[in-house]
Amino acid sequence: MQALQQIFNFVPLTARVGTAGQPLAGQFKAIAAAGYEAVLNLAMPDHAEAIDDEAAIVTSLGMTYLHIPVPFDAPRMAHQRQFIRLMQALGDQRVFVHCIMNYRVSVFMYQYLRVCEGYDDASARSPIFETWQPDARWQELMAVDARALVLD
């Protein structure tokens, strides 16, 4: 667990889900060693801190790699719905979810925990919200009624 604490903005949000900012290439070994079975990346692939061969690194360590590129300045409800579908498809697998700063992830996990896992508002909020104040675009996504996110 100590190696995971070295990952930027790492938060062990639930027993099944860890969240963070962008890990360094060498930190994926610690993620795999901690028992995570899948990595879900929400960062844009053209960001300066993105790792070009992240998918190859992750899969070489025996983990599943999933990527939903979410523009930080233009998140959409469609991104959130896709995220929920992927998280549901992963079932009970341990999932490491990251973006660049753990901001996108914190909003998406907030909605996922409320809508799919039945968490109350306070319990669904990542500690990241203590240091980051979402702007209007992200607040709007956080305010979406759960019924609009429920997938048939």
Encode pLDDT of 30-81 as tens digits.
999 999 999 999 999 999 999 999 999 999 999 999 999 999 999 999 999 9
What's the pLDDT score for residue 34?
A: 97
State the pLDDT confidence band at 149, using cuts at 50, 70 and 90. confident
Q: Which region among 12-16, 97-101, 123-127, 147-151 has the lowest average model confidence (pLDDT)?
A: 147-151
The CA distance from 135 to 113, in Å, is 21
pLDDT above 90 (res 146): no
Distances (CA, A) of 133 to 1, 43, 79, 139, 146: 27, 19, 20, 9, 21
In terms of pTM, does the model score above 0.85?
yes
Please give the average per-residue pLDDT across 131-138, as a whole number: 96
Asked if 82 and 97 count as a contact pair (C-beta separation under 8 A), the reply is no
Single-letter code of the amino acid located at 8: F
Length of the chain measured in residues? 152
Of the pLDDT bands very low, low, confident and very high (cuts 50, 70, 90), residue 2 is confident
Mean pLDDT of 109-119: 94
